[in-house]
Amino acid sequence: MSTPFDPTDHPHRRVDPLSGGSVLVSPHRTKRPWQGKQETPANDARPAYDPTCYLCPGNERKGGERNPAYEGTFVFTNDFAALLPDVPDPGPDDDPLLARAGVRGTSQVICFSPRHDLTLAEFDHAGLARVVGLWVERAEALGRDWRWVQIFENKGEAMGASNPHPHGQIWALDALPTLPAAEDAHQRAWLDDHGEPLLVRYEEVERSRGERVVTATTHWTAVVPWWATWPFELLILPRRHVLRLPDLTAAERDDLATLLGRLLPTLDALFDTPFPYSMGWHGAPTGPGFRIEDDHAVHDHWQLHAHVYPPLLRSATVRKFMVGFEMLGEAQRDLTPEQAAERLRAVAP
């Protein structure tokens, strides 16, 4: 008699319906001893105001501009922007293997608070509500001119954050980047085949099963997705069919602040450290010529969502690295998404 399959012990692959990729899950490997790198956590104590910080109120930035004495949130065009609004088209190369295309856009920095010593996990509800409002306002304003508006935050040195002051970024450009383009194609195909938006259905499945849900509120659900690559990866989903951040109702925006106020401290509680991550929002494309009356006819396959990619694996000093098979084959994880969600629920403040 053959051994029955056990998803908590036997290797298997899971499909990511958003990207079309797969992840190899190897749960039996959690039993092996760990002999990897160990580090001493850095002292993260910071003052509420740092006179040397180029994001604190009233300070001079690297590009020579001086910040206003802001008391809430603050937005400015990145002094060293990755995207520029007016650049010449490079034209095609003579060799088709060396394809290229021009790109135009803008990059902004969004300061979440004048306080230098806080992270979003330490914000009160009012502070988080201001951040949500800022995301909505920027998505709406930049969406009038650019096809893709990528709002994101890199938290912590492990994720390349060059300044600990609580801040995020927005990159807006005239074309769909690779990952949103894949999400666009797969969400469209799912709607065509199944008659309902992919992530609307997925949220219903996760909420009904519960095993990967980390926290849920009236209007939002946060899960470790079935296809998670990073150990404690999260997907944040609205319960209602919503295309973009500006489409959220006042109640949904306030409730998002509630969800973040539970979810981000939960990550910090897991290893008793400010958990680094990259977090960003994906919503339906916009851009010049966009008309709200045509929206659902064109973008009904889309569902607003946020990805949270935290790299820590076993402790405050041991992180997951994408190397070897992951760089040459496909993503791989040992801890199952269900086990990760269970551990997060267990430490939720």
Q: 155: pLDDT confidence band, cut at 50, 70 and 90?
A: very high
Q: Specify the pLDDT at position 349.
A: 86
Q: Find the catalytic residue in 165, 167, 282, 307.
A: 167
What CA–CA distance (Å, rounded) separates 24 from 97? 31
For residue range 219-265, what is the model confidence (pLDDT) as tens digits?
Answer: 999 999 999 999 999 999 999 999 999 999 999 999 999 999 999 99
pTM for this entry: 0.94
Q: Specify the pLDDT at position 35.
A: 45
Domain edges within the chain:
179-347
Collect contacts of 248-257 with beta carbons under 8 A, ≥24 apart: 248/136, 248/304, 251/218, 251/219, 252/219, 252/220, 253/129, 253/132, 253/133, 253/136, 254/129, 254/132, 255/217, 255/218, 255/219, 255/220, 256/132, 256/219, 256/220, 257/125, 257/128, 257/129, 257/131, 257/132
What CA–CA distance (Å, rounded) separates 251 from 130? 14
Pairing state between β 331-333 and 305-309: unpaired
CB 153 within 8 A of CB 236: no
CA 94 to chain CA centroid, nearest Å: 38
What CA–CA distance (Å, rounded) separates 153 from 39? 24
Mean pLDDT over residues 42-47, rounded?
Answer: 75
Q: Specify the pLDDT at position 293.
A: 58
Q: Specify the pLDDT at position 44.
A: 66
CB 36 within 8 A of CB 312: no
The angle subtended at Cα 306 by Cα 305 and Cα 312, nearest 5°, is: 150
What CA–CA distance (Å, rounded) separates 236 from 263? 10
CATH class of the domain comprising 179-347: alpha beta
Pairing state between β 331-333 and 22-25: parallel
φ and ψ of 332, to 5 deg: -145, 145
The angle subtended at Cα 211 by Cα 132 and Cα 223, nearest 5°, is: 20
Q: 36: pLDDT confidence band, cut at 50, 70 and 90?
A: very low
What CA–CA distance (Å, rounded) separates 114 from 127? 11
For residue range 48-82, what is the model confidence (pLDDT) as tens digits?
Answer: 999 999 999 999 998 899 999 999 999 999 999 99
Tokens 């009038």 map to which residue?
144
Mean pLDDT over residues 285-307, rounded?
Answer: 81
Q: 45: pLDDT confidence band, cut at 50, 70 and 90?
A: confident
Q: Specify the pLDDT at position 6.
A: 85
pLDDT at 40 over 70: no
Is residue 165 part of the annotated active site? The answer reads no
For residue range 181-218, what is the model confidence (pLDDT) as tens digits?
Answer: 999 999 999 999 999 999 999 999 999 999 999 999 99
Mean pLDDT over residues 160-166, rounded?
Answer: 94
pLDDT at 292 over 70: no
Q: What is the mean pLDDT of the chain?
A: 93
Q: Specify the pLDDT at position 289.
A: 61
Q: Specify the pLDDT at position 3.
A: 85
